[in-house]
């Protein structure tokens, strides 16, 4: 894998192209870039790149990562960024860290929440500031906005239980609290990503008007159409659950009954992704990178493959990590190859719509 920063004007000759939205690849052809943007006009004397043996597609976006995690690991932020880029991922949305951090890097696009908000005494204190009252939460949201946060991450439920099938724990916030926090965030221009598992948590988030549901394990089938109706995206994060079964070390820590519970919970979630995709929910690929057993960057291909397993078509599954992901994360002019958009591109060998596994070994990441 090679990372190339595009010079001023470049002509890229490609063998095939997937533009980030269509159901098929096209090509061969030539794409032009000028000043970091995709252009339909050649420059005066463009540099040229010969990718006639490769397929060009938008660089990928991971909708849910924790760049400060894992805490116990010795790798640096720069190493995590590098691992992310080397996997063909050029943009990520941060989902919270223990200490307030505004992450930035000259090569990786990062949408920051700085720090999530949770309720004191409930799940999430390792990713967030735990507040004890609504006024404290509102003060914190104002403060985060003035510190440059690009979205708000709310922790509105626990994680689901590995021992009791379907158990998602107590709910930290009332409807009034959730609605007030969401309204203030939106007034300040922040989209709201809500960690929510269990049907009641998801329903409260929908009523509050959040922009995306993160995880959403154990929401009921009847809740899925509500996401479509209210234009709320869903980032189902299959990977952080699947790794507990596929990673030999993590799996060895579980009892047979826990393995069974996790396996049933994952199967249910995969089925719901298939149903949600068919209903037209905007689905985002988010890996929860940094969570136990989930490496930064390379995990995204696994999430796409699980989407395929759920029944999403090749283009639908890949949109979840490109054009739909960019919309969910609030990255403007990204994720679709069209004139005027940012020239963050990935070259792969083969057809990524037919063979998602080739994304595990991308050839070239082009950065503008
Ligand atoms: Zn997370």
What is the CATH number for 259?
A: 3.20.20.140
pLDDT score at 71: 80
For ligand 1, the distance from its centroid to the CA atom of residue 292, given in whole angstroms, is 10
Judged by DSSP in three states, 29 sits in: strand
Pair (47, 80) in one structural domain: no
Pair (176, 154) in one structural domain: yes
For ligand 1, the distance from its centroid to the CA atom of residue 94, given in whole angstroms, is 8
Asked whether residue 72 is domain-assigned, the answer is yes
Token pair 């221009």 in the structure block, residue: 189
Residues with CB under 5 A from ligand 1 (ion): 95, 288
Taking every pair of C-alpha atoms in the chain, what is the biggest distance, in angstroms?
A: 66
Asked whether residue 121 is domain-assigned, the answer is yes
For ligand 1, the distance from its centroid to the CA atom of residue 362, given in whole angstroms, is 25
pLDDT in tens, the chain (368 residues): 999 999 889 999 999 999 999 999 999 999 999 989 999 888 777 789 999 999 999 999 999 999 999 887 889 999 999 999 999 999 999 999 989 999 999 999 999 999 999 999 999 988 999 999 999 999 999 999 999 999 999 999 999 999 999 999 999 999 999 999 999 999 999 999 999 999 999 999 999 999 999 999 999 999 999 999 999 999 999 999 999 999 999 999 999 999 999 999 999 999 999 999 999 999 999 999 999 999 999 999 999 999 999 999 999 999 999 999 999 999 999 999 999 999 999 999 999 999 999 999 999 999 98
For ligand 1, the distance from its centroid to the CA atom of residue 12, given in whole angstroms, is 37
Residues 7 and 2: their CA atoms lie apart, in Å, by 15
Total of domains in the chain: 2
pLDDT score at 42: 80
Pair (106, 239) in one structural domain: yes
Pair (234, 344) in one structural domain: no
Vertex 94: Cα angle to 295 and 312 (nearest 5):
70
Asked whether residue 323 is domain-assigned, the answer is yes
pTM, 2 dp? 0.97
Asked whether residue 53 is domain-assigned, the answer is yes
For ligand 1, the distance from its centroid to the CA atom of residue 54, given in whole angstroms, is 34
Pair (100, 9) in one structural domain: no
Pair (344, 318) in one structural domain: no
Distance of CA 123 to CAs 45, 158, 287, Å?
Answer: 57, 5, 19
Pair (83, 160) in one structural domain: yes
Asked whether residue 98 is domain-assigned, the answer is yes
Pair (52, 124) in one structural domain: no
Pair (98, 239) in one structural domain: yes
Distance of CA 281 to the CA centre of its chain: 15
Pair (192, 51) in one structural domain: no
For ligand 1, the distance from its centroid to the CA atom of residue 293, given in whole angstroms, is 13
For ligand 1, the distance from its centroid to the CA atom of residue 295, given in whole angstroms, is 13
Pair (299, 352) in one structural domain: no
For ligand 1, the distance from its centroid to the CA atom of residue 61, given in whole angstroms, is 15
CA-based nearest residue to 3, from 360, 297, 346: 346
Pair (222, 90) in one structural domain: yes
Asked whether residue 63 is domain-assigned, the answer is no
Asked whether residue 223 is domain-assigned, the answer is yes
For ligand 1, the distance from its centroid to the CA atom of residue 242, given in whole angstroms, is 14
For ligand 1, the distance from its centroid to the CA atom of residue 26, given in whole angstroms, is 36
Token pair 């209903």 in the structure block, residue: 279
Asked whether residue 94 is domain-assigned, the answer is yes
Q: Provide the residue range defining the domain that includes 281.
A: 68-329
For ligand 1, the distance from its centroid to the CA atom of residue 135, given in whole angstroms, is 25
CA-based nearest residue to 65, from 209, 193, 165: 193
Residues 94 and 234: their CA atoms lie apart, in Å, by 16
**CA atoms lying within 13 Å on the CB side of residue 202:** 28
**Any idea what the CATH number is for the domain that residue 22 is in?**
2.30.40.10
For ligand 1, the distance from its centroid to the CA atom of residue 193, given in whole angstroms, is 10
For ligand 1, the distance from its centroid to the CA atom of residue 291, given in whole angstroms, is 7
């Amino acid at each position: 894998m090679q990372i190339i920063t595009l010079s001023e004007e470049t002509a890229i000759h490609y063998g095939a192209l997937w533009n980030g939205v269509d159901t098929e690849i096209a090509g061969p052809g030539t794409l032009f870039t000028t000043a970091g943007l995709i252009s339909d006009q050649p420059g005066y004397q463009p540099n040229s790149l010969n990718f006639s043996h490769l397929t060009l597609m938008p660089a990928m976006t991971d909708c849910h990562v924790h760049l400060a995690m894992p805490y116990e690991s010795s790798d640096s932020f720069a190493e995590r960024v590098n691992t992310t880029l080397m996997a063909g991922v050029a943009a990520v949305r941060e989902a919270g860290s223990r200490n307030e951090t505004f992450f930035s890097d000259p090569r990786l696009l990062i949408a920051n929440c700085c720090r999530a908000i949770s309720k004191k005494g409930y799940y999430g204190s390792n990713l967030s500031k735990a507040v004890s009252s609504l006024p404290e939460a509102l003060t914190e949201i104002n403060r985060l906005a003035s510190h440059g946060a690009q979205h708000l991450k709310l922790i509105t439920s626990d994680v689901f239980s590995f021992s009791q099938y379907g158990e998602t724990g107590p709910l930290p916030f009332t409807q009034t609290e959730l609605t007030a926090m969401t309204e203030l965030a939106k007034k300040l221009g922040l989209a709201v990503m809500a960690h929510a598992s269990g049907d009641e948590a998801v329903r409260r988030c929908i009523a509050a008007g959040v922009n995306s549901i993160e995880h959403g394990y154990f929401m009921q089938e009847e809740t899925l159409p509500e996401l479509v109706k209210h234009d709320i995206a869903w980032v189902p994060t299959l990977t952080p659950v699947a790794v507990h079964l596929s990673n030999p070390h993590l799996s060895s820590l579980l009892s047979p009954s826990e393995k069974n519970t996790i396996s049933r919970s994952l199967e249910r979630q995969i089925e719901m992704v298939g149903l949600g995709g068919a209903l037209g929910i905007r689905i985002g690929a988010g890996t929860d990178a940094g969570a136990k057993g989930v490496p930064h960057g390379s995990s995204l291909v696994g999430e796409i493959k699980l989407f395929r397993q759920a029944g999403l078509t090749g283009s639908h599954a890949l949109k979840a990590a490109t054009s739909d992901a960019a919309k969910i994360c609030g990255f403007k002019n990204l994720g679709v190859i069209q004139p005027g958009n940012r020239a963050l591109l990935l070259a792969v060998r083969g057809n990524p719509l037919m063979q998602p596994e080739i994304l595990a070994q991308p050839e070239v990441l082009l950065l503008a």
